Amino acid sequence: MEEKFLQIYKYGEDVLKLKAKNIKDINGKIAALIKQMTATMYYTKNAIGLAAPQVGRSLQLSVIDLSFGEKKEEFTVLINPEIIESEGEEAGDEGCLSLPGITIPVKRKTKLLLKYFDMDGKEQQREFEDFKARVIQHEVDHLDGVLILDRVSSLKKQMVKKEIKRLKKDGIWK
């Protein structure tokens, strides 16, 4: 029997630095992975998105639910997502399951046009705005091997790395 919840890979793991591979066939294995990723995302209780590289799979796949499982229509699966257009800019604090305990201000576009495939293999093209656009950009970054830590100044990055060392030493970063 397969594990229900997947391990979340943390900052420093190689899989998080790679550009994930496109999914060519949306089959039973992909459907099972989507189910496991969704269960893992909900299990963490504070996650609203999870990308396949965060669970050790280098695939262009992400699940998002801003409602924490409360509203079915909020649940979104992105397969091979591609940002076609984007506009506006806003800074906002972001956290990440791969950087537990860390929050970093990140500049993101406020509106985007996204092309992706859904779970049924149908190509979609949709506009997203504001917070959902931010979350999608965060997840697409994961698929490109980019973490929020890569989006800050080298000084801020060094400060965060010191904080990670402290969290590890204190046994908080597990």
Residue whose entry in the numeric block shows the structure tokens 């904080």: 163
* Integer CA distances (angstroms), 53 to 89, 97, 127, 143, in order: 26, 11, 24, 7
Residue 139 among the catalytic residues: yes
Taking the CA of residue 53 as centre, how many other CA atoms within 13 Å lie in the half-sphere pointing to its CB?
28
Q: Which of the following is catalytic: 2, 89, 139, 163?
A: 139
Catalytic residues: 139
